[in-house]
Structures are given as C-alpha cells and as structure tokens.
Structure 1
Amino acid sequence: MDENILGIVAGVLTSISMIPQLVKVIREKNVEDISLLMLLVLISGLSLWVWYGFAKDELPIILSNAFAVLVNVSLLVCYMMYNKKK
C-alpha cells in the first residue's frame, strides 16, 4: 500500500473520531462530561503535529491534524458556550 494513502486513511479515521462527540454536545447542549484539560492538551498536541507536518512537508499529516484541530476547537467553543459552571 502506498504510504501516502495509508497516512491519509489513518488521518481521516483519527480526525473524524471526535465528530460524534461534537454532534452530541451540539444536540444536547451539555458539556458536563467533557474535560477542559483534555481538550486543551489534545488541541495543543494536534497543533504540534500540524507544525511537524509543515516541517517535514507531509501533506497527509498537515491536513488530517488541521482538520482534527478544527473539530476540537469547535468542541472547545461549545464547551465555553454550554458550560454551566461559569
């Protein structure tokens, strides 16, 4: 199997993994079970992967992790909007 295809498939699967959680949060407007620290650490790690992808000029790493950053930042925005512990 071509390495780029393997990287793209792995990236797509990893990137879409948080979409069901995001959909659930948007539907229920409930973020009680979401860890803010986990989100911040995950976004930081994914952002570093994007940076690494640019450093290595690896498009599959850049695209999949940039998409994952977008999904998780969306979840973070929902967390801030729906958090009842303000």
Structure 2
Amino acid sequence: MDVKTIIGFSAGILTAISSIPQIIKILKDKKAQAVSPLMFFVLLVGNLLWCWYGVMLNDLPITLTNGFSTICDILMIILNYKYSKK
C-alpha cells in the first residue's frame, strides 16, 4: 500500500469515526435533544456525494470511509428521531 492510500484511509477513518462518541452517548443516555437532525441530514447528503465521487474515481479510501460515514449519519438521524422529545 502506498503512502497516498495510507493517508487517504487514515483521514477517512478519523473523519468517519468522529460521530461514534455521539452515537454511543445517545444510546447510553437515551436522549438526543442537543443533536441537530438537519446537520446530520446535510452530512448524509455530503457523504453520499463523496461515495459517488469515490466510485467515479475508483478510489477505495474515499468510497469505503464515506460509506461508513453515511451509515453513521443514517444511524444518528434514526436515533435523533427515536430519542428526541416531541
């Protein structure tokens, strides 16, 4: 694996896992009032576009890490809906 690929995977992994502490906190506390669903919707659209871009470039680091971020964004939207006070 070349340096460019290692840097791409490292950057993507760090970005992708950035929402995991928030997901864990929501699951633990069963509260999501402080989380903006709009922010995660915007992130979802952005990550979907990054995935598409990665597929068009045949760039595995971009595609995989943004695919994982997309899954995290969807999970955050679901958790926000489930645990936000109506």
TM-score normalised by the shorter chain: which range applies? over 0.9
Shift of 1:80: 1.1
**How far apart, in 2, do the equivalents of 1:36 and 1:70 lie?**
15
Partner of 1:34: 35
3-state DSSP of counterpart to 1:18: helix
3-state DSSP of counterpart to 2:68: helix
Divergent runs of 4+, >3 A: none
Superposition RMSD in Å: 0.9
Query: What are structure 1's unaligned runs of at least 5 residues?
Result: none
Identity, % of aligned pairs?
Answer: 39
Normalized against structure 2, the TM-score is what? 0.95
Indicate whether 1:75 and 2:76 are aligned.
Answer: yes
Partner of 2:59: 58
**How far apart, in 2, do the equivalents of 1:71 and 1:41 lie?**
13
**How far apart, in 2, do the equivalents of 1:74 and 1:20 lie?**
13
Partner of 1:7: 8
Query: What are structure 2's unaligned runs of at least 5 residues?
Result: none
